[in-house]
Chains A and B, each alone.
Chain A
Amino acid sequence: MGDDGCSTVSVTVLVPGVLRAECGGSSTLALRSGPTLGALLDELAACQPRLHRRIRSEQSVIRRYVNVYVDGEDCRLTGVLATPLRAGAEVQILPSVAGG
Chain B
Amino acid sequence: MAHVLCIGTEKGLFTARSDDDRRSWEIGVPQFQMTNVYAVGVDKRSSTNRLLAGVTSSHFGPSVAVSDDLGATWSEPDEPPLAFPDAAGVALERVWQFAASPTAAGVVYAGTQPSALFKSTDGGQTYDMMPGLWNHPHRPQWGAGFGGQAIHTVLPHPSDPDRLLVAMSTGGVYRSEDAGVSWNPANKGIKAYFFPDPWPEFGQCVHKVARDAGDPERLYAQNHHGVYRSDDGGDSWGSIADGLPTDFGFTMVAHPSKPGVLYTFPIEADGRRYPPDFRCRVYRSTDAGATWKALDNGLPTDDFYPVVLRDAMCTDDAAVTGVYFGTRSGEVFGSADEGDSWSLIAEHLPDVLCVRAFQV
List residues of chain A with CB under 8 Å of any chain B CB. 18-19, 49-50, 53-55, 57-59, 61, 63, 65-66, 95-96, 98-100
Q: Mark B58-81, 1 if CB is under 8 A from A, else 0.
A: 111101000000000000001110
Does B290 sit within 8 A of A, measured CB to CB? no
What CA separation (Å) do A59 and B78 show in the bound complex?
A: 17
Q: In the complex, which residue of chain B has the Cβ closest to the Cβ of A54?
A: B60
Instruction: Pick the 9 closest A-B CB pairs, nearest first.
Output: A57-B91, A54-B60, A58-B83, A65-B59, A49-B78, A95-B59, A59-B91, A50-B78, A53-B80
Instruction: Kindly state the separation between the CA atoms of A76 and B57 in the bound complex, as whole angstroms.
Output: 21
Taking the complex as formed, is B299 at the interface, i.e. its CB lies under 8 A from any CB of chain A?
Answer: no
Q: Are A63 and B92 in contact (CB under 8 A)?
A: no
By a CB distance below 8 angstroms, the chain B residues around A95 are: 59-60
Which residues of chain B have a CB within 8 Å of any CB of chain A?
34, 57-61, 63, 78-80, 83-84, 86, 89-92
Cα distance A50–B34 in the bound complex, in angstroms:
18
Task: State which of B59, B80, B89, B91 has its C-beta within 8 Å of the C-beta of A99.
Answer: B59
- Least CB distance from B89 to A in Å reads 7
A99→B34 contact, CB < 8 A? yes
The smallest beta-carbon distance between B38 and chain A, in angstroms, is 16
Residues of B with C-beta under 8 A to A66: 59-60
Residues of chain B with a CB closer than 8 A to A50's CB = 78
Which residues of A are found within 8 Å of B59, using beta-carbon distances? Answer: 18, 54, 63, 65-66, 95-96, 98-99
Cα distance, A55 to B59, chains bound together (Å): 8
| From B57, B60, B80, B90, residue with most partner A Cβ within 10 Å | B60
CB distance from B235 to the nearest CB of A (A): 37
Taking the nearest CB of chain A, how far is it from the CB of B336, in angstroms? 34
- In the assembled complex, the Cα of A95 lies from the Cα of B59 at a distance in Å of 7
Question: Contacts A49-B78, A59-B86 given; 14 further ones with Cβ under 8 A?
Answer: A19-B60, A50-B78, A53-B61, A57-B61, A58-B84, A58-B86, A59-B91, A61-B91, A63-B60, A65-B59, A95-B59, A98-B58, A99-B34, A99-B59
Tell me how far the C-beta of A19 lies from the nearest C-beta in chain B, rounded to whole angstroms.
Answer: 7
Tell me which residues across on chain A come within 8 A of B34, comparing CB atoms. 99
- Smallest Cβ-Cβ distance to A67: which chain B residue: B59
**Bound CA–CA A92/B138 (angstroms):** 43
Least distance between B58 CB and chain A CB atoms (Å):
6
A-side contacts of B92, CB under 8 Å: 57-58
